[in-house]
Amino acid sequence: MNFSKTYDVIIVGGGHAGCEAALASARMGASVLLLTISMDKIAAMSCNPAIGGLAKGNLVKDLDALGGEMAKNIDASCIQLNVLNMRKGAAAQSSRAQADKAKYAYRMTETLLNQRGLDVKQAVVSDIITENGAAAGVKTLCGQTFYGGKTIICSGTFLKGKIYIGASFQEGGRAYEPASVELSDSLALLGFEAVRLKTGTPARLRADSIDYSRLAPYDTGGDKRPFSFETEKLPPLEGRCWSAYTNEETHRIVRENLSRSLYYSSADKGIGPRYCPSMEDKVTKFPDRSRHQIILEPEGEASGEVYPNGFSTSLPVDVQLAAYRTIEGLENCRFTRPAYAIEYEGFQPTGLYSSYETKKVKGLYFAGQINGTSGYEEAAVQGFMAGVNAVLSLDGREPFTLGRDESYIGVLTDDLVTKGIDEPYRMFTSRGEYRLRLREDNAEYRLLDYGRRLGLISEKRYKRFSEEKASVEKEIERLKSVSVKLNAGNRAVLEKEGVYMNRGQSAYDFLKRPEGSYDMLKKMGLGKLEGRAALQAETMIKYSGYIAKQNEDVARFARLEKRKIPADFSYDGIAGLRREYAEKLEKIRPSTLGQALRIPGMSLAAAAILDVALKKAGKN
Amino acid sequence: MNDTIAAPITPLVTAPVITVRVSGSGALKVFSAMRLSGGGVPDPIPNMMKRYIFQSEKDGIRDDVLAVYFKAPHSYTGEDVVEISFHGNPVIVTSALGALYDMGIRRAEPGEFSRRAFLNGKMDLTQAEAVQELISAGTETGARHAYGQLDGEVRRKLDEMKDCLLDIKAVIEARLDFPDEDTGEDDGEIIAGVKDILEECKSLLMAYRCLRTHRRGFTVVIAGKPNVGKSSLLNALLREERAIVSDVPGTTRDYIKEDLYLGTVPVQIVDTAGVRESGDYLESEGVKRSRSKIESADLVLVVLDLSGVLDDNDARILDMTEGCERIIIGNKSDVYSPSGFVPADILVSAAENSNIDKLIELIKEKTGVLDSDKISGVVSVTERHAHGLRVIAGVLSSLLEDFSGRPLDMAAMDIDRCVSQFEEITGEKYTEEVLDRVFSRFCIGK
């Protein structure tokens, strides 16, 4: 059965990457088809019921400033929300929300179904069709064929997924859902070499089997700011998390039963993430720790299930239950679903261009866990970038990429395509060398122009932002000429705030003091802005010195970053370039000299030789 | 890439001739420090060697030199090049290089001339394998190699500092990226670590300074109001150390210079004019000159007269020398033996020659002449290492001023700057290492 309609873009997978890819490409005017194994599992949160967290919150906000959907979707479905690290500085602050999983998935599904230009269908894709080495469409297990110029694979954990509980395993992409086996074979035929990765998830507990009277509420505190810059009102934030601890008895049970985990005791394991260890790993690698914290997170507002964050395991269910029940407050807990480990296929992302197009097959894009990343947010931004680039390439336009100094999305992409992965890749703020620029608060300042040029930002929003930005800039100038005088009224305010000054100073300099805040200026009648604009002015002034220094670093590397390497540049026969370097360059095909220099094992000398060769090639 | 660079291309040791190469678009600037030996302004003609007088205003050095100009692209590097051959005295050449750096010319990195030659297509590309080695020598591999060559003791210290710095970075990054995890709240450990690194930096820099002193000699300035016994102190020092090498009369009425050796190190002692002016004349020429001598000194001997009362003039000199390496000397101890508080480091009588030997020991100690142990390990510390250590010391000192007061993301950037200096010193990248430390130290992951 062939569908007569030819799509511009076909997306395989309806997870967080697939949803953003579908919406971005459809909103840019393409005709788009999204295929998912189950219509009921679109935008499913397979693991923890939360969006955001350190650096991940920044990804979501950046995605919002570019015109993505994730921020709005979590704003509409969150049951709790906090800005983390309130006291560690603006660049250390990230938002995290507890989601109502069902609402989150429902709203996203509805958004897809109501998007003009987007078809959503349930099907298991078995084959990638190529013509002259370029993607041309897909076939499904039930014999359908869909034609389309660009194909984006967002397979999550489904490619040859294997689920491990205790002594057995079964094929599956998520507990009791079918794995995608044929697609994996089809990709292997196209020459893609898979790497096996691993992740895990804890059991789910019945909310009514937990003794909350024996647990302490877990509250990180922090402001409650929506993820999307367009969200004006959040739902009631009544979700509550609880803190529990494992103990020596828990560890003993886990330790004594290690051999009963097929996965843990097998020699040839997929690569798991160090930042998300199973309980087996925790008790083995940190034997001196007498307890590990477990956060109990509700899976939704009306959900009867609770997610015990920090206790993933692949032990047999009876051992799991015994171990969980050693925890104070969980003595009588009952499982709704057991914990499991899952092994799945991904591909080294060094096989991609920065546009997320594969080097092997033109018009074929990969996004999300297939590229060796972990996390809903990491997946979402990749889906978005792949969707945008698929559409841009339809008209032969330049790919859209972001710099490492512009967004964590740029850092993520550059790390993936330049260095590859040696464990599931998660974003950390420490991966960004220009952290002070990549703050949550200034996402629109960095990225809204791009989103607008892509046609994904409404004029109404752009106008609102332009006005906000102008008011902030004006206020910053004004604060330079206003002074904080030490009159009786101001003294009283400062004393109450615990600020000691021996002479007056400009409001601008006052804000540069570590303890000075815009809020205090307002109390002294010196501040004119409210809310987000006020915070922006304060942050820009407070960090001006450090950011100026960071900008110098950016400028220092700008020459290298601006030096483009043509896509068809030949590394053969460059005199003096050692073969090992030529091979690395040939494999990665960096788009700039800066990226070339970041390839692991690359030397400055080789980059200098490449520089000369580029100059010569430019002249010819 | 096209700034102007300079470096000796022959070893910087006592030899018949030391040649310095200057390369870059501003190479011709160096002729501003030269005049033709027959008098007259230089008008260099490419490829023609001429005799010149090289003169540096600041240090007052002067040398007959031979210099030749190679016009771009017909030079070794393909840029404008000037090569100057000095008489083979490292002290003179070091000062001359200082004069070039003052003109905005940068010190060439190892291998940088060859790198430029290569980049400008001056070298046969078929030799490029060899060239690449050359280039590497000037870049990170070079730094790694140089690091590997460091003396055991220095290397061990640098490794410890690097280790401590990366641990601090790991703790800070863990606190930033994993706020839910138990990464500790106590800043004490971080602060203690920062202090340790800072102390190590300072001690390496001190040793480096001693080494430089040994090579270049140093300047001791005697300062004090009139009639406190500055001249007799100078004479006493000269009497004690018989090895007077020259007797250069003061070129102005304002100060007198004497050269002598302390051990094997050349020392120039400058006796400033008494800071006799008071009140209205504070900014007069004499004081200005004394002040500039004091500022450029390696060590200032501040002389106080114990027999008189400390007055504003003394206070002024003490203020002026506050930030300097200094020894405060209470003179005329024969006339007045003090009881109670005297702000002096040592009491002497220049007239009676008493305690002068102790003073010389103190001078040696302050300038590092005494401590040859310190020097032995430092020979391999280059100016580049010292530069990195100075940057690190600067950043860490300001970080210590209010570590707990500033937001952690700012502190993280300060630590990053130190780490990148270390990367330049050792030629390695530590990005992944920090994450490794985070994961091995803290049980991350809920």
Find the range with the poorest average confidence among A165-174, B11-20, B233-242. B233-242
From B48's Cα to the closest Cα of chain A, the distance in A is: 31
Find the range with the poorest average confidence among A191-205, A517-531, B47-61, B234-248. B234-248
Quick one: fold of B214-370? Rossmann fold (3.40.50)
* Separation in Å, CA A72 to CA A194, A372, A433, A434: 34, 26, 28, 27
pLDDT at B90: 74
State whether A293 and B173 contact (CB < 8 Å).
no
The alpha carbon of residue A145 and the mean position of all alpha carbons in its chain are separated, in whole angstroms, by 32
- Segment B192-217, tens digit of pLDDT: 999 999 998 988 888 777 766 666 66
The alpha carbon of residue B206 and the mean position of all alpha carbons in its chain are separated, in whole angstroms, by 10
Residue B250 has pLDDT above 50, yes or no: no
Tokens found for residue A338: 């057991």
**Which residues neighbour A520 within 8 Å (Cβ) at sequence distance 6 or greater?**
A493, A494, A497, A499, A510
Q: Which residue has the tokens 């070298």?
A: B123
Residue A501 has pLDDT above 70, yes or no: yes
pLDDT band at B313; cut points 50, 70, 90: confident
**Which residues neighbour B111 within 8 Å (Cβ) at sequence distance 6 or greater?**
B134, B135, B136, B137, B138, B139, B142
pLDDT band at A410; cut points 50, 70, 90: very high
Rounded to whole angstroms, the Cα distance separating A364 from A153 reads 8
AA letter at A466: S
Q: Which chain B residue's Cα is nearest to A295?
A: B446
pLDDT at B138: 42
Q: Which chain A residue's Cα is nearest to B122?
A: A612
Q: Which residue has the tokens 């100690």?
A: B365
Task: Name the residue with higher pLDDT: B289 or A271.
Answer: A271
Answering whether pTM is above 0.90, one says: no
Residue A382 has pLDDT above 60, yes or no: yes
Rounded to whole angstroms, the Cα distance separating B34 from B61 reads 12
Rounded to whole angstroms, the Cα distance separating B267 from B258 reads 8
Residue B380 has pLDDT above 60, yes or no: no
Q: Which residue has the tokens 């003490």?
A: B318
- Segment B323-371, tens digit of pLDDT: 778 899 988 877 776 655 567 888 888 888 888 888 888 887 777 654 5
Residue B183 has pLDDT above 60, yes or no: yes
Residue B242 has pLDDT above 80, yes or no: no
- Are B425 and B186 spatial neighbours (Cβ–Cβ below 8 Å)? no
Residues of chain B contacting A91 with CB distance shorter than 8 Å: 409
State whether A274 and B439 contact (CB < 8 Å).
yes
Pairing of strands B265-272, B255-262: antiparallel
Residues of chain B contacting A276 with CB distance shorter than 8 Å: 445
Residues of chain B contacting A576 with CB distance shorter than 8 Å: 125, 128-129, 131-132
* Separation in Å, CA B116 to CA A464, B76, B112, B131: 52, 9, 6, 11
Rounded to whole angstroms, the Cα distance separating A106 from A42 reads 8
State whether A514 and B407 contact (CB < 8 Å).
yes
Say what percent of chain B tops pLDDT 90. 20
The mean predicted confidence, pLDDT, of chain A is 94
Instruction: Calculate the CA dihedral of residues B165, B171, B177, B178 and round it to 10 degrees.
Output: 170
Q: Which of B109, B116, B176 should one mutate to test binding to chain A, selecting the residue with the greatest count of A CBs within 10 A?
A: B176
Q: Which residue has the tokens 């205003």?
A: B57
pLDDT at B148: 59
Rounded to whole angstroms, the Cα distance separating B443 from B429 reads 24
| From B407, B417, B443, residue closest to A289, measured CB to CB | B443
Residue B245 has pLDDT above 60, yes or no: no
From B99's Cα to the closest Cα of chain A, the distance in A is: 27
Determine the Cα angle at B96 with ends B95 and B101, to 5°. 95
pLDDT band at A381; cut points 50, 70, 90: very high
Rounded to whole angstroms, the Cα distance separating A422 from B203 reads 40
Task: Name the residue with higher pLDDT: B248 or A535.
Answer: A535
- H or E element in which residue A450 lies: helix A443-453
Determine the Cα angle at A193 with ends A189 and A195, to 5°. 135
pLDDT band at A166; cut points 50, 70, 90: very high
Any chain B CB within 8 A of the CB of A421?
A: no
- The answer to whether the bond into B44 is cis (omega within 30° of 0) is no
User: Residue range A19-24: average pLDDT?
Assistant: 98
Residue B184 has pLDDT above 70, yes or no: yes
Rounded to whole angstroms, the Cα distance separating A402 from A65 reads 13
State whether A293 and B446 contact (CB < 8 Å).
yes
Rounded to whole angstroms, the Cα distance separating B367 from B364 reads 5
Find the range with the poorest average confidence among A249-263, A285-299, B318-332, B406-420. B318-332
pLDDT at A503: 84
Residue B60 has pLDDT above 60, yes or no: yes
Any chain A CB within 8 A of the CB of B83?
A: no
Domain A463-546 in CATH 3.40.640.10: no
**Which residues neighbour A267 within 8 Å (Cβ) at sequence distance 6 or greater?**
none
Query: Considering only CA atoms, which of A72, A77, A144, A58 is closest in space to residue A377?
Result: A58
CA-based max dimension of chain A: 84
Start-end of CATH 1.10.10.1800 domains in chain A: 463-546
CATH class assigned to A563-619: mainly alpha
User: Residue range B278-290: average pLDDT?
Assistant: 54
CB atoms within 10 A of CB A142: 9
pLDDT at A69: 98
From A23's Cα to the closest Cα of chain B, the distance in A is: 30
Any chain B CB within 8 A of the CB of A294?
A: yes
Query: Considering only CA atoms, which of A403, A429, A358, A427 is closest in space to residue A598?
Result: A403
Q: What is the DSSP letter of A193?
A: P
pLDDT band at A471; cut points 50, 70, 90: very high
From B407's Cα to the closest Cα of chain A, the distance in A is: 5
User: Residue range A294-323: average pLDDT?
Assistant: 96
State whether B409 and A309 contact (CB < 8 Å).
no
User: Residue range B378-403: average pLDDT?
Assistant: 80
pLDDT at B145: 54
* Rg of chain B taking only CA atoms, in angstroms: 26
CATH class assigned to A204-340: mainly beta
User: Residue range A185-210: average pLDDT?
Assistant: 95
* Separation in Å, CA A200 to CA A104, A115, A184, A338, A426: 21, 33, 21, 11, 15
Task: Name the residue with higher pLDDT: A412 or B432.
Answer: A412
Helix then strand then coil, % of chain B, to nearest 5: 50, 20, 35
Q: Which chain B residue's Cα is nearest to A94?
A: B177
For chain A positions 197-256, those within 8 Å of chain B (CB to CB) are 220
pLDDT at A176: 80
- Segment A310-347, tens digit of pLDDT: 999 999 999 999 999 999 999 999 999 999 999 999 99
Residue B13 has pLDDT above 60, yes or no: yes
Q: Which of A83, A312, A428 should one mutate to test binding to chain B, selecting the residue with the greatest count of B CBs within 10 A?
A: A428
Q: What dotted CATH number matches B5-138?
A: 3.30.1360.120
Query: Considering only CA atoms, which of B65, B55, B60, B52 is closest in space to residue B20?
Result: B65
CB atoms within 10 A of CB A586: 13
The mean predicted confidence, pLDDT, of chain B is 76
State whether A603 and B141 contact (CB < 8 Å).
yes
- Segment A117-139, tens digit of pLDDT: 999 999 999 999 999 999 999 99
Tokens found for residue A533: 């604009």
Q: Enumerate helices (H) and strands (E) in chain A, giving the number of each.
A: 21, 22
pLDDT at B246: 33
- Are A428 and A374 spatial neighbours (Cβ–Cβ below 8 Å)? no
Residues of chain B contacting A605 with CB distance shorter than 8 Å: 132, 135-136, 139, 141
Residue B437 has pLDDT above 60, yes or no: yes
pLDDT band at B131; cut points 50, 70, 90: very low
| From A275, A429, A514, residue closest to B176, measured CB to CB | A429
Domains of chain B, residue spans:
5-138, 214-370
Task: Name the residue with higher pLDDT: B314 or A14.
Answer: A14
Rounded to whole angstroms, the Cα distance separating A371 from A356 reads 9
Rounded to whole angstroms, the Cα distance separating B396 from B411 reads 10
pLDDT at B337: 63
Q: Which of B409, B421, B428, B442 should one mutate to test binding to chain A, selecting the residue with the greatest count of A CBs within 10 A?
A: B409
Residue B280 has pLDDT above 60, yes or no: no
DSSP-assigned states of every residue in A542-560: HTHHHHHHHHHHHHHHHHH
pLDDT at B347: 87
Rounded to whole angstroms, the Cα distance separating B375 from B367 reads 12
pLDDT at B143: 54
* Rg of chain A taking only CA atoms, in angstroms: 26
Rounded to whole angstroms, the Cα distance separating A280 from A258 reads 7
pLDDT band at A369; cut points 50, 70, 90: very high
pLDDT band at A617; cut points 50, 70, 90: confident
Residue A414 has pLDDT above 50, yes or no: yes
Query: Considering only CA atoms, which of A128, A137, A122, A103 is closest in space to residue A177?
Result: A122
pLDDT at A390: 98
- Are B84 and B20 spatial neighbours (Cβ–Cβ below 8 Å)? yes
